[in-house]
Amino acid sequence: MSSQTQERIARELGIDRQWGRGDEAAEIARRVDFIQQVLRESGGKTLVLGISGGVDSLTAGRLCQLAVEQMRGAGHDARFIAMRLPYRSQADERDAQASLDFIRPDSVSTCNIADSVDGLMNQVRIDGLQPSAELTDFAKSNVKARARMLAQYAVANFSNGLVVGTDHGAEALMGFFTKFGDGACDLAPLSGLTKTQVRALAEALGAPGHLVHKAPTADLEELAPGKLDETAYGCSYAEIDAYLMGEPVSDAVRQLIETAYHRTAHKRALPRTPA
């Protein structure tokens, strides 16, 4: 039996527990319509999204491409720019390229963020402060995420566009995104979905199975390359999704999830201001 806290959090994150297998086509259409509405209302002409090789950016990217193709069919000037944003080289570059092959974006822009990240990290100094290797790696991982968003907003500015985010319900629940990094965007078409639902949409869109079911990793930490999301969480996506869907989870998982949700509340909120 789900707790009141579990129910409240699911409502706050906009989790839709009603749709399941067989409802993917309607959900895809609804989210494509959402993307089109936001772009039209903004007066913009492009959508910009970084493609990492994971299922989230793959799904959001295909939805964006479908949205702009439909808009062009209706006489609107719209296009989708997919961005590759590696730091030096990327271990799963093959998956990123496979994602692009599936999405078939109107155009691809590549920006290697290494120079900007390394340059900033080399300039950051505080007298008397000697951060540990672990803290330095943590800070640099966030700088990488923020550099990627800076690049996407630059391209969006060049092209009168909007930046698309890939945050969904499971990541929002755990606060598993960089504040003002991958958490910064103009629209988030996967919002309210569990990881299971994101994968279901990807399958319905026809994405390759090895990308749909790939073990997710942010791959930002140099001291722990390829660290899996679930390792960082301390629980599985299946358990996170179960919590969001109001299904039973162990007391240990419930406590871990709710602690993460409350600890990362500042990431989901606007900046605090004086009362």
Q: Which of 56, 167, 186, 219 is catalytic?
A: 56
Q: Which of 171, 182, 219, 229 is catalytic?
A: 171
Exposure class string for 27-66: b at 16+ Cβ within 10 A, else e: bbeebbebbbebbeeeebbbbbbbbbbbbbbbbbbbbbbb
Two structure tokens written together for 234: 């301390």
Is residue 56 part of the annotated active site? The answer reads yes
Give how far Cα 138 sits from Cα of 71, 222, 224, Å: 41, 9, 10
Contact 212, 199 (CB under 8 A): yes
Is residue 171 part of the annotated active site? The answer reads yes
In angstroms, rounded to a whole number, what is the distance separating the alpha carbons of residues 182 and 113?
Answer: 14
The span from the first CA to the last CA of the chain, in angstroms, equals: 38
Q: What is the set of active-site residues?
A: 56, 171
